[in-house]
Structure 1
Amino acid sequence: MVRPNIMIVESDKELADSIGWQFAAESYDIQRTESGSQALRMLREQTPDVLILDWSLADITALELCHSVRGSSQTENMQIVVMSSNNNEEERIKCFSAGADDFIDKPFAPRELFARVNSMLVRRRESTVTKSIQFADLEVDPVSHRVWRSGSLVHLAPTEYRLLFHFIKRPQRAYSRQQLLDAVWGTRVKVDSRTIDVHIRRLRKALNRPGDKDLIRTIRAVGYALDLE
């Protein structure tokens, strides 16, 4: 069985050691660096399953690193978790908009971070089935994690893909924000329900070209559904 691989980008050696020890104890392969620019060079040589990075990097910003990862075909499907000591809603929104999949406030227990990352990877494996799924002019291939609309390839970050995959398995069903959080992040992970709204906006932007019908229906006081109406 292939061991999952993470890259830790953190200048605090003690924290990086604690994270590394936690994941190594669970049979993960570890890459580490203190530098965002060094991380980019390392990513060109080997693509980990998950990138865990500090918000306050000395050389390049976490946002720049997220944009770079999402802009490369080699790394666009990689999971990204941002760590920050600033419990700031605006900061979270910027991270999610730049392509981060999760955000965790410092200080945190390394086992909590492991639970979040492990949940991401388990759900990605569980989403793998053999047949493509279609709804309206959408097609999702769970093996390659590719999405097409009207025959054109749609580029989605991992979290938006998991959201869409959850929707398309039961189209027209309404889901509350909490149900979507539980399905995409897992019940053991605490994530603000407003995080869903950020990822729904990104999913809409990716799916809906000018003139296209919006396939994500907002249901007032309830949540969202994949629907033609």
Structure 2
Amino acid sequence: MSRVEQPSVLIVEDEPAQREVLNYNLEAEGFVVTSAENGDEALILVDEAQPDLIVLDWMLPGVSGIEICRRLKSSSKTRSIPIIMLSARAEEVDRVRGLETGADDYMVKPYSVVELMARIRNQLRRTRPASVGERLEYEDIILDAETHRVTRDSKPLKLGPTEFRLLSTFMEKPGRVWSREQLLDRVWGRDIYVDTRTVDVHIGRLRKALCEHGGSDPVRTVRGAGYALG
């Protein structure tokens, strides 16, 4: 059965016990987890491989969580990454400050891990809906991430696992141009070496499957940049 690559989460937390609990629970839920114990390390990790979501502690040694949030949200490369801020600051003014800095959500310590997981999935429904089993639609194409079925004009399509992941990536953000390197990172994973020409091969297979029952090719080649849906 084809599988949508699980979202990656970066934990930025300086308390080892808190970091370990978060890491354990996120991995148990199937997320790909990396962690940092300070702001400088977090910025390096984000630059190396952008996560799908960041769980960020406010109080960090060195660069604070608020400053990390401000920097990430002020950059066009990282502003779309959801950030859930954790803080022992429970006053309304602190919540407002965190959200106004750019945090997408704010949780006060001590927090419920179950609630945090729910909030993480809620953020990912907005940015990576296929990864949490959502149904995606683009024109006459329907992708059901939970049942791993794809139809076009109500006719079932036969996609291999890689083609399914490619299509789900495209359908999450129609119109966005993905470079070959970005597709390798999202579809094949960060720890697997695959030649960029392999992307072209699988794009060709995806196009063939999408046009199996007729219809125009919805995948657009952007010369010198990559591929996009529509």
Q: Give the TM-score of the pair, scaled to structure 1.
A: 0.55
The residue type equivalent to 1:130 in the other structure is: Y
Aligned residue number for residue 199 of structure 1: none
Contact 1:5/1:30 (<8 A) preserved:
yes
CA drift of 1:3 comes to 1.2
Give yes or no for the alignment of 1:113 onto 2:116: yes
Aligned residue number for residue 84 of structure 1: 87
Q: Secondary structure at the match of 1:66?
A: helix
Q: Distance in 2 between matches of 1:144 and 1:70?
A: 22
Q: Could you say if the C-alpha distance between residues 111 and 60 of structure 1 is closer, same or farther in structure 2, counting changes exceeding 3 Å? A: same
Q: Secondary structure at the match of 2:25?
A: helix
Aligned residue number for residue 164 of structure 1: none
Contact 1:128/1:143 (<8 A) preserved:
no
Q: Distance in 1 between matches of 2:15 and 2:115?
A: 18
Equivalent position to 1:68, from 45, 60, 71: 71
Equivalent position to 2:49, from 46, 61, 65: 46
Q: Secondary structure at the match of 1:38?
A: helix
Q: Provide, for residues 106-162 of structure 1, a one-character-per-residue CA deviation record: whole Å limited to 9, x for no partner.
A: 11122211111012112442596436xxxxxxxxx962579xxxxxxxxxxxxxxxx
> What is the 5 A alignment of 1:97-108?
97-108=100-111
Give the structure, 1 or 2, with the largest relative contact order (CA under 8 Å, sep 6 or more): 2
Q: Secondary structure at the match of 1:18?
A: helix
Q: Distance in 2 between matches of 1:144 and 1:87?
A: 40
Q: Could you say if the C-alpha distance between residues 129 and 73 of structure 1 is closer, same or farther in structure 2, counting changes exceeding 3 Å? A: farther
Runs of 4+ with deviation above 6 angstroms:
none
The residue type equivalent to 2:14 in the other structure is: S
Q: Could you say if the C-alpha distance between residues 97 and 144 of structure 1 is closer, same or farther in structure 2, counting changes exceeding 3 Å? A: farther
Which consecutive unaligned segments of at least 5 residues does structure 1 have?
132-140, 147-229
Aligned residue number for residue 21 of structure 2: 18
Q: Give the TM-score of the pair, scaled to structure 2.
A: 0.55
Q: Distance in 2 between matches of 1:142 and 1:127?
A: 13
Q: Secondary structure at the match of 2:77?
A: coil
Contact 1:9/1:54 (<8 A) preserved:
yes
Aligned residue number for residue 216 of structure 2: none
The residue type equivalent to 2:36 in the other structure is: T
| Number of residue pairs aligned between Structure 1 and Structure 2 | 137
> What is the 5 A alignment of 1:165-184?
none
The residue type equivalent to 2:94 in the other structure is: E
Contact 1:128/1:142 (<8 A) preserved:
no
Contact 1:130/1:142 (<8 A) preserved:
no
Aligned residue number for residue 143 of structure 1: 174
Q: Provide, for residues 50-79 of structure 1, a one-character-per-residue CA deviation record: whole Å limited to 9, x for no partner.
A: 111111111112221111111222211100
Give yes or no for the alignment of 1:130 onto 2:161: no
The residue type equivalent to 1:23 in the other structure is: L
Instruction: Name which one, 1 or 2, has greater alpha-carbon Rg.
Output: 2
